[in-house]
Structure 1
Amino acid sequence: MAEKQTLNRPHLSAIRVLFEKLGKTLVIVDDDPTGTQTVHDVPVLGHWSLEVFKEEFERKTKLFFVLANTRSLVPEEAVKRSKEIGKNLLEASMATGRDFILVSRSDSTLRGHFPEEVAAISEACGRSRLPWIMAPVFFEGGRVTENDVHYIIENEVKIPVSQTPFAKDKSFGYQHADLRKWIMEKSKGNTKRDSIKSLSLERIRKGENLRETLATLQTGETLIINATMYEDLEIVCQALLQEIKEGRNFIFRTAASFISAFTGMEAKPWLVQQRPAPKNGGLMIVGSYVPKTTGQLQNLLSVEGLFEVCLPVEKIIAAPPGFQEWTRESINKIEESLSSGKHMVIYTSRTLLTGKDASENLGIGEKINDYLVNFVKSIRTKPSFIIAKGGITANDIAVKSLGMKRAMVAGQLLPGVPVWQLGDSKKFTNTPYVVFPGNVGNEKALKEAFEIFTQNPDAS
């Protein structure tokens, strides 16, 4: 139903010209690494030092992503990290004379630290008085906003996100799909209803007073963008770019489709033939625990001859700090499997362990993830490809296991599933690295991603 509509991009060229004429850098601070779902040939930074920001500003990089990974942190740590990133961005901008536009990119199913991390980074980078723009649409994954209600489209049926498993997330759960009510809910009542504005689909499609609405937004106000297809979002982005050209600015809290719409960029299919034919097996790592991922994992495990390693989360949580469950022997078996051309999947058991509150739940997730990171870090044989399933998993495997400092988004393996080229990393340089979000794709999508690599004759 919605797929054909989302491909309609009549304003691409005009937006691209407007964006490039600004002469500013779009900085996307990503709370997990899945914001790269709709772009290509864009750098992804695995750290956020003053020096690395200065380098990008001196290069006049048009846009880049910062892997903040705040969604894996408790609120206090997320705020602390956001402040550090904002401070370094401001100092780098002042040192180089390169201005920037800030996007806080988060989940299209509304999980994440809101509003605290947006407020923290806005203040730290000298933009605390700017109004906020809210655009959580992600068309490639069937996330749309209509009449201020945020939906997920499943099997051509629009389901309010409050009625999906994502709203029951143990760390970031919520009650409302109406974004006005959601904002008030997440701010614990500190945001009043009259400070939340919106652009309706009717106004957007008529082009009715869009710039006037943007120009009159005040400090402390948030504007919700309704959109069910790219054309809606692009109409708003044209108005935003024109207002920014006139000297106004905004803080953006968005999902991935906004990045593409705001810069005039299309997704770019990534082809396996773009790399040399490998000899070793591929490596898949599954950490995400959402029901969608579990169904996809079950389909993947039906592949004959796949080497499996299941890490039991109960034992990981019960283990003392620093304890390593695996032995050199099990790692050696993994090495033998990869070097002999066998493909393998490492996954955490599907039991969902919960604590007494959101912070304890995040702590449990952190311990499991650290264990998985150290496990993968122990692997020495270079895989022919890596597929990391789950946003936090993908971030930590890239940054902590492989030591990635800067990668490039090469394109998309499947809609909403980006491929990075690991350039500046300590391990497995130039290995195709697939960032597979936990909440994307049907039940066969993970198996399909695997088969794209393994069934192509040039990839065997």
Structure 2
Amino acid sequence: MTNKPKIIVLDDDPTGSQTVHSCLLLMHWDVETLRTGLRDDSPIFFVLTNTRAMPPESAASVTKEVCQNLKLALAAEEISDFLIVSRSDSTLRGHYPIETDAIAQELGSFDAHFLVPAFFEGGRITRDSVHYLLINNVPTPVHETEFAKDSVFGYHHSYLPQYVEEKTKGRIQAESVTRFLLADIRCGSLERLLKLTDNQCAVVDGETQADLNSFALDVLAAASQGKRFLFRSAASILTALAALPPQPIAAEDMAAYVRQGKPGAVIVGSHVKKTTQQLEALLQVEETVGIEVNVAELVNETNQSAKLLSDILESTKAIHNAGKTPVIYTSRQELTFKDIKTRLDFGVKVSSLLMDIVQGLPSDIGFLISKGGITSNDVLSTGLDLTSARLLGQILPGCSMVITNSDHPQFPDLPVVLFPGNVGDTDALVIVYKRLTKYTK
């Protein structure tokens, strides 16, 4: 097979690049920016749509807009050979089937769309079409975890065909879903892939990276024979499809990217239990100083945020001048809201305060760690106002590091760690911090 298809990933939060490296992440999706991604040497690029933070209608319209512009960009670059991936959460939270429907409507017709939620670095595997999360090495069906109780994206099934039926409200019946089981994948699936038509829904097992690597080879072979496929997946299938060599600088040596060996800053927005444990561990480390952002103050008071902002920036500056790393985190208590819209609106308010904090950080920080998927997206697109960033690689399994452009007006060549909320064990944030401060003066 000669040319491999370009892999175009629409990522619903900015952490889907957590298993690849050396490619572009695009925060804008105008035709010109998309053409930059298509022309780039890497076989893969990401469009960060952040749709997981949006209500369903906005998620659908953003996805359509990306696809409409993509059509124009593909035509302009004369590219007809491509694979589209709707990358979402490995614990099944997200706007499915809204996003895949929108993509199929704009870029169809597809022969199949595959659900491939396995994400090995995060301990998510799929066996017999049941999706599991390894908790202390015990495979737990995801519908029994905190993620299934998500107030926006909750669900009741770990058996993927039933999950599909639930999410499509019965439009796709569980028994009509095609299943690619471990035994099938390990024997080779090309013949079955070639028979799929009419945007058939298929669910794919995966217990190890090798499983998805062999499935990806068969997918690429089928694509080279004219089959058109769409993916709804977590990050591990991307590793398989892109088939990249090892990243240029190993994870433990990434302090080499830190600007002048200076101390950095940490922003923590994610609320999941794992993040809170990791935050507590980080605040025990000697050179870090915590700054709590009491978000409850934002609930009713419209004028509170300006005062809150100036207090936080003053503390941040003082900590930085003392040669330490400020760890700015949102208060941990989960607030309750009368409905989903109010919750999402409040999230926007909190995020906008956090982004004002990012914009007010000392311009000579050595690095920035952003904890939480939606927080990380906002840091890139709003806090740092980037159109695109180059992904350097992973500083820890599942944690990407990107670098800002050298002509950035405020933070040129700043390494930024995108750390998903639910990745890593209790010490993970500490390990990342220590890797970055290896040479700190």
Return the TM-score normalized by structure 1.
0.90
Q: 270, 274, 277: which is aligned to 1:292?
A: 274
- 1:276 and 1:384 mapped to 2: Cα distance? 5
Instruction: Find the residue that maps to 1:33 and give its secondary structure.
Output: coil
Partner of 1:438: 421
Partner of 1:197: 178
Task: Give, in angstroms, the shift of residue 57 of structure 1.
Answer: 2.6
Is contact 2:118-2:234 (8 Å) kept?
yes
Residue deviations 1:9-57 (CA, integer Å, cap 9, x gap): xxxxxxxxx5xx3343211111001111111111111111111112333
Partner of 1:13: none
Tell me the amino acid that sits aligned with residue 159 of structure 1.
T
Is contact 1:267-1:412 (8 Å) kept?
no
C-alpha distance 76-321 of structure 1, shift in aligned 2 (>3 A): farther
Instruction: Find the residue that maps to 1:39 and give its secondary structure.
Output: coil
Instruction: Find the residue that maps to 1:133 and give its secondary structure.
Output: strand
Task: Give, in angstroms, the shift of residue 437 of structure 1.
Answer: 0.6
- More moved, 236-245 vs 444-453: 444-453
Instruction: Find the residue that maps to 1:394 and give its secondary structure.
Output: helix
Residue deviations 1:216-266 (CA, integer Å, cap 9, x gap): 212242111111001111111111100100111101111111111112125
Instruction: Find the residue that maps to 1:411 and give its secondary structure.
Output: strand
Partner of 1:396: 378
Partner of 1:449: 432
- 2:386 and 2:408 mapped to 1: Cα distance? 4
Residue deviations 1:306-338 (CA, integer Å, cap 9, x gap): 222111121122232894242535423312322
- 2:90 and 2:317 mapped to 1: Cα distance? 37
Is contact 2:262-2:440 (8 Å) kept?
no
Partner of 1:165: 146
Unaligned runs of 5+ in 1: 1-17
Partner of 2:237: 258
Task: Give, in angstroms, the shift of residue 166 of structure 1.
Answer: 0.9
C-alpha distance 189-280 of structure 1, shift in aligned 2 (>3 A): same
C-alpha distance 34-330 of structure 1, shift in aligned 2 (>3 A): closer
- 1:389 and 1:323 mapped to 2: Cα distance? 21
Instruction: Find the residue that maps to 1:44 and give its secondary structure.
Output: strand
- 1:452 and 1:66 mapped to 2: Cα distance? 28
Task: Give, in angstroms, the shift of residue 359 of structure 1.
Answer: 3.4
Q: 339, 343, 354: which is aligned to 2:336?
A: 354
Return the TM-score normalized by structure 2.
0.94
Residue deviations 1:166-196 (CA, integer Å, cap 9, x gap): 1111111111111111111111222122331
Partner of 1:89: 70
- 1:267 and 1:426 mapped to 2: Cα distance? 31
- 1:204 and 1:320 mapped to 2: Cα distance? 55
Q: 399, 417, 422: which is aligned to 1:417?
A: 399
Q: 10, 13, 36: which is aligned to 1:29?
A: 10
- More moved, 32-41 vs 371-380: 371-380
Tell me the amino acid that sits aligned with residue 137 of structure 2.
E
Across the two proteins, how many residue pairs are aligned to each other?
A: 436
Instruction: Find the residue that maps to 1:278 and give its secondary structure.
Output: helix
Q: 353, 369, 372: which is aligned to 2:351?
A: 369
Does 1:187 find its partner at 2:173?
Answer: no
Q: 116, 123, 136: which is aligned to 1:135?
A: 116
- 1:356 and 1:130 mapped to 2: Cα distance? 42
Q: 29, 35, 38: which is aligned to 2:19?
A: 38
Partner of 1:52: 33
C-alpha distance 44-204 of structure 1, shift in aligned 2 (>3 A): same
Instruction: Find the residue that maps to 1:381 and give its secondary structure.
Output: coil
Tell me the amino acid that sits aligned with residue 415 of structure 2.
P
**Identical aligned residues as a percent:** 36
C-alpha distance 89-38 of structure 1, shift in aligned 2 (>3 A): same
C-alpha distance 163-316 of structure 1, shift in aligned 2 (>3 A): same
C-alpha distance 316-351 of structure 1, shift in aligned 2 (>3 A): same
Partner of 1:314: 296
Is contact 2:268-2:329 (8 Å) kept?
yes
Residue deviations 1:283-318 (CA, integer Å, cap 9, x gap): 000000011111111111222342221111211222
C-alpha distance 75-276 of structure 1, shift in aligned 2 (>3 A): closer
Q: 202, 205, 226: which is aligned to 1:226?
A: 205
- More moved, 327-336 vs 414-423: 327-336
